[in-house]
Amino acid sequence: MNFILNKYFIHLSEGEIPKYLLIEKHIKRLIDTNMVEDRERLPSIRKLAQFLNVNNITVINAYKKLQAEGYAIQKIGSGTYAKKKDIHKNFNREYSKALKRIFNEEIVDYVDFTGETPSGEFFQIDFFKNVLNEVLDRDGAKALICQESLGYEGLRSSISSVFWNKKVDKEDILIISGAQQGIDLVSKAILNINDSVIVEKPTYSGALSVFKWRRTEIFEVPIEKDGINMDKFEKILRKNNIRCFYTMSYFQNPTGVSCSNYKKIQILKLAQIYDFYIIEDDYLSELIYDNSIRYNSFKSLDNNDRVVYIKSFSKIFLPGIRIGYLIPPKRFKESIQNSKINTDISTSSIMQRALDLYIRKGLWKNYIETLNCAYKKRYIHMEKCILKYLRDKVEFLKPGGGLHFYLKIKENIKLNSVNIFRQGKDRGILITPGLLFYKNALEGKNYFKISFSHTNEEEIEYGVKILSEIIK
């Protein structure tokens, strides 16, 4: 019998935490990690009390706590049985609350693998401060109070000339407050209730939230190493009246996959044939480390005005500067612009003017070059650490750019990504479980994302090593 009870053994030294809570926490962990199976009978109160050298009341209180938290059920006359909690239900809320609490405290105590934006350590704040002062000296009060519905004309001109070589007219560019607002504006202008959209599987959780809020029917198409599965994509198009396809063309969040030129051209042809529009979220395309990857957006290849192009400066510049831009098809230009005006009238005037001057002075180009150099080193180091510590525990595709890796837990590992998140959090390591990126959260339980944007090489090595200890 002691052999069966061995897994329930726990050191119960005297301390501030009551013994029943220590026992309850230990059994919860056994259930979460499948050491105790769902519906498995727990030891009787008397036998567990004798084995742990505590009184019966201590075990009774531990079992009551397990029942209250949904980890056990009692069958009268039969005993107490383990109950596997639905780890996926309401996990988004648990994840958000946990990160909010941690970030409100001292994040320095954690290795943060959850970051999705560049670290402020590479941003040359003095240069930007000088740009702000120059804008105020040049424009005075206008910099603070002047509002233009499409956005500051100077910034739209800079975007047109610097990023699009004037192939896009400044009048077709709408300044927005980041990619999330762009997705929301497009959905309000283009999508009606019960319209159908296709998303990549997995995809950005913020986009899923917007489409669910609009009460659209969401179809998912699996991602392969060079973009979505085209056969499954066209099968959905043939059977359904699709309004939009949402895609992240470079270093997709979360998979890190970039869509090949071949598939982009095929998707654009299908958009014309099946009469749908492509919402292109151009995510982190500035951070390319693999020379074999060439930049060609859907928008640059579009000959039939089928692409809504969304670009956020917040992702690559500074998260606190909520600026991005959107280029709509002419058919939806007015409705998207009206949607923006009805939402917030205008994005920060002074920040638009400062960003415009920052770009014109060539500081943007220098900043991106600095980021590429710094993050390529971290990218290479994280890949080495994954291969060194997690080779026999996970599988992954090399993204060739961006700020993260997406890891699949191998089938022989009993832990899922929620277990890893919870145990990692207890040991000062923060990851992003894959559940957040799927319409059906259960499909993401064996995946997790780790980013190197807010971690140096020493922290990367330490964090990946701890993850290796957790994933046994």
Residue-wise pLDDT tens digits, 246-267: 999 999 999 999 999 999 999 9
Element (H, E) at 151: none
Which residues make up the CATH 3.90.1150.10 domain(s) of the chain? 91-115+366-470
Which pair of tokens denotes residue 367?
Answer: 């900043």
Measured CA to CA, the distance from residue 119 to residue 121 in angstroms comes to 5
Chain centroid to CA 398: how far?
17
What are 319-354's pLDDT values in tens digits? Answer: 667 899 999 999 999 999 888 888 776 678 888 999
Using the structure block, give the residue that is written with the tokens 């899922």.
Answer: 416
Element (H, E) at 102: helix 91-104
Which pair of tokens denotes residue 242?
Answer: 């699709």
Using the structure block, give the residue that is written with the tokens 């990126």.
Answer: 437
CATH 3.40.50.300 fits 127-361, yes or no: no
pTM of the complete model? 0.80
* Residue 120 confidence class, pLDDT cut points 50, 70, 90: confident
Length of the chain: 472
Sheet holding 242-247, edge to edge: 174-176, 324-327, 307-312, 277-282, 242-247, 196-201, 217-224, 227-228
403-412 in b/e form (b: 16+ CB < 10 A) is bbbbbebeee
Q: Where are the beta strands (DSSP E) in 31-135?
A: 72-75, 79-82, 111-112
Element (H, E) at 101: helix 91-104
What is the arithmetic mean of pLDDT over 414-440?
91
Question: How many other β-carbons are positioned within 10 Å of the β-carbon of residue 50?
Answer: 14
β pairing state of 324-327 and 394-396 = unpaired
Q: What is the pLDDT of residue 314?
A: 80
Q: Which CATH number fits domain 91-115+366-470: 3.30.565.10, 3.40.30.10, 3.90.1150.10, 3.20.20.70?
A: 3.90.1150.10
Higher pLDDT pick, 122 / 298: 298
DSSP state of 448: E
Q: What is the pLDDT of residue 1?
A: 46
Q: Which CATH number fits domain 2-82: 1.10.10.10, 3.90.1150.10, 1.10.150.120, 3.30.420.40?
A: 1.10.10.10
